[in-house]
Chain A
């Protein structure tokens, strides 16, 4: 197992926002987390990334993540948060190079190594932004910025990527490309990914396993292909499949 989460509960000081979540990911596995607004998806991701105090266990190849220093943890787990504004005009290249931070020694004499440059170039090519590498990130559109942050996560070269609504600002073409580049990324040995999605069709295109949450509890954990229609309708409090079918009918 690359990642095991056992009985994880956490909150923000008050009552728990996420309760007793357990799941585990094998090499190459991709998990999508689904559920309505405020069901605890983002909180779950942040807790797994070690950004919130939590109860329960997170194991990385059997090692307790809580015992790892921050830098060591960042070499194994990367988090792509929801898009936040950027204030400082780093270039695209510099921004992605910062993904190498946990792999470097730091200090006055620290310079970019060949491995760093190689990783940054590959990551930027993966998201199709190598030609834009000298542009300041403050001039980019939301979608381009999101791809820069995805490239930074790739450059971090972790075993586990956690993605919080990674397709939010992307147009349809890049949504599909992003899910494909993530599939290609997880195909390399020793890797897996967890993504929080709002778009259910995209989530199912991305993942082989689905975790459905509602009100902080897990309602479903199993193959994405076997997701039950009645369950989705209950969790989202609407006729999910009916809505999709009516959307489809418009094109037929």
Chain B
């Protein structure tokens, strides 16, 4: 199948997933009504008289912001994962391996235990602090890798990122253990959730995602060259320390922003790039958009499963993605090893 046609299919799947995510839930809303409500909102057309009384508010204030946030988060994490795997030449790398998630988690935990999160400014302070911690952790990991190993090889970055992740996770657990009143809230944050989200998060994440994705696409060829290893990339004309610094910085910003709003959601960043490569080859011009679409669609469907499988309870989204992601991780690892590629 031609690349254009495959991409069109992905877009179609994304639109269908968004429709399903908006339509299904405790109350099912027919797709026709959703379209009528949307067009009423966007173009001021009149609503049909037979539409359910609570539907407009449910669509525009509850379901749609949630679905949009899920899609953006999935797309952001998938794109970040794609870039990390290429920059570190490691098919199992992810932004979380850089310490981005644990750093953000520690920031969030500090805001929660100091009681700041419960204050009036809480909804703004929590994501701001956790994003700052995510960026600081990524910078720390890169700096330490550069100090330890002059070439700052991909493996060094992965190892230091892993150490930083474990360390900050431990500090976060310690904070939770020392302040039992907040332990549950920290635990919930760690599992990630799209509940109680409003448009404000979408309005922050959407431009960040759009701008970083465009930047990654501009650097698609540089990313292609980087997958062949540091030495070859440099010999082919890539200013490696600079390119790597900018790309990893952009990853930390993108993944950090999404983690700051919704908490830690693993595995999408790992799965989506591999699925995208399987169908679109390795070239970043195709893999980046495909991976973002797959990640967004997958996340919307996971969130749909999270809130509809055992109503009225909600399964933490992190559990759903990990339940599907863990077996996939093993599959990639072992098939890769059989071919002698890892």
Contacts and interface: CB of A to CB of B under 8 A. Distances in A.
Are the chains A and B members of one assembly?
Answer: yes
Interface string A215-244: 000000000000000000000000000000
A73 B237 contact: yes
Contacts, number: 96
B89 interface: yes
* A50, A91, A98, A107 — most chain B CB neighbours (10 Å): A98
A108 B224 CA distance: 14
Interface string A58-82: 0000000000011111110111010
A94 B231 contact: no
A104 interface: yes
Given A69-B239, A101-B237, A156-B236, A89 B221 contact: no
A126 to B, nearest CB: 18
B339 A88 contact: no
A108 B227 contact: no
Nearest to B215: A108
Contact of B281 (A72, A90, A107): A90
A136 interface: yes
Given A74-B237, A75-B237, A87 B231 contact: no
A78 B281 CA distance: 26
Contact of B235 (A49, A84, A88, A95): A49
Interface string B214-231: 100111011011011101
Contact of A108 (B86, B91, B217, B341): B217
A90 B283 contact: yes
A86 B214 contact: no
B282 A79 contact: no
A36 interface: no
A104 B237 CA distance: 11
Interface residues of B, number: 33
Given A86-B341, A88-B86, A106-B221, A46 B231 contact: yes
B236 A98 contact: yes
B249 to A, nearest CB: 18
B232 A94 contact: no
B282 A90 contact: yes
Nearest to A75: B237
A138 B339 contact: yes
B150 interface: yes
A195 to B, nearest CB: 15
B238 interface: yes
18 contacts: A49-B234, A50-B234, A71-B238, A73-B237, A75-B237, A79-B232, A84-B232, A86-B341, A87-B90, A90-B283, A98-B236, A99-B236, A101-B222, A101-B225, A101-B236, A106-B218, A106-B221, A110-B221
Interface of B: 86, 89-91, 150, 214, 217-219, 221-222, 224-225, 227-229, 231-232, 234-239, 277, 281-283, 336, 339-342
Given A71-B239, A87-B90, A106-B221, 15 more contacts: A13-B150, A50-B234, A79-B231, A81-B231, A81-B235, A84-B232, A86-B228, A86-B341, A87-B342, A88-B277, A90-B224, A98-B228, A101-B221, A106-B219, A108-B218
